[in-house]
Structure 1
């Protein structure tokens, strides 16, 4: 799922125009420029019915849109939302935006801005 989700984001010209190849799971490499996307799998569980596993996984993925300026972070989050929210295809049954957090101004001058998006991801195992 992780590789397919990253590929889905990198296939969008509006996103790659902003971040280039900087779409990473776990963390953004120190010293690399912004803007960037950092994806985190918050949870991932096997789908079950009364008869046992249903062959689907249900994950929650947080996508952090990092940028030096607030407008850039917000613009990037909108491009991600437009691409992923409601998507179904390939191994993905559904990608649904559950929450968006606009974390506003950073605590210290020179710190980057972040907008976080939480997606519920249903995919074939």
Structure 2
């Protein structure tokens, strides 16, 4: 087992690392200094790397949907990719060969940036007034 010295332990000493979000080519990278999560944007939004920044070890072995929604008894995968030949480990060379599932809900990125509290509150206020999925809808 690998031990981390107390000098680098964020639970023992204050950790002052700003979170960051970076978009490069076909990837979106979220990093808070402790964990880095990398998403591929196309052919469908999916987590392709999840790395412990303290130890450098990858925590991801397989690419799956980001979520599974069930509506009226039908399941819909949200994001994710299909075709990984082995789920015991993830080889980054496989990622270019993976495809989006036919019935998967696609996630698209419109804007990346910092949202103010006023903007967030306005979006939630509008969302409360809009019925996204009326009870009469059939799937």
Q: TM-score, normalised by structure 1?
A: 0.33
Q: Which has the higher helix share?
A: 1
Q: TM-score, normalised by structure 2?
A: 0.30
Q: Which has the higher strand share?
A: 1
Question: Larger RCO: Structure 1 or Structure 2 (Cα < 8 Å, ≥ 6 residues apart)?
Answer: 1
